[in-house]
Amino acid sequence: MKRLIAVLSLFAFITLGACKKDKDGIAYSGEYEKSYRAWLDFQAGSEDSYMYQVESSSWTGYSKQTTITVKQGKIIERSYSLNAMRWPGNVLTVVNEWKEDATQLGTHNEGHELLTLEELYQKAKSDWLLERFDAKTYFETDNNGMISVCGYSKNGCADDCFNGVRITFIRPL
């Protein structure tokens, strides 16, 4: 009987160990690390001065873009545009837009949060890429190896469910 218990215990240990999630609990861990290295190379090559644009859209026809400008590691500007598709004719119309300079940063509630790409990568690792049993995680690197899509959508959610970021471009200044 003791032998049977020992064998079953060993089997359970091996089985549970084989099912263990990534050691750090991060989905796309290897891809993230490769992308983070691409970011560090870009950061050094651009002297940490760049702009990037975050975009989101809804099934209702609205879309919004936030462009963040960083100079030597500090955010110096944020601009925002909210657009709507108007019918008839499928005409894209600007509903609201604004620009904040360094003295006005954070004075608007709309727009993507004020994050440098370094901070965005940290948020990706500490939030958006955490392995979740109740969500699908996304990670793409179409900006010269840097993040283009990073986030998750809860299973069963039908509309506007993405929690994360979609970066349409990253450019040096």
Q: Where do the domains of the chain lie?
A: 22-172
User: What pLDDT, in 10s, does the model give residues 32-85?
Assistant: 999 999 999 999 999 999 999 999 998 888 999 999 999 999 999 999 999 998
Q: What is the chain's length?
A: 173
Range name among 5-9, 38-42, 149-153 with the lowest pLDDT average:
5-9
Convert 54-63 to b/e letters by CB count within 10 Å (16 or more is b): bbeeeeeeeb
Instruction: In whole angstroms, give the CA distance from residue 55 to residue 111.
Output: 9
In angstroms, the Cα distances linking 151 to 22, 63, 108, 170 are 17, 18, 24, 18
User: What pLDDT, in 10s, does the model give residues 10-27?
Assistant: 444 333 333 334 457 999
Q: In what order do the strands lie in the sheet with 74-86?
A: 91-101, 74-86, 62-71, 50-57, 162-172, 149-154, 135-140
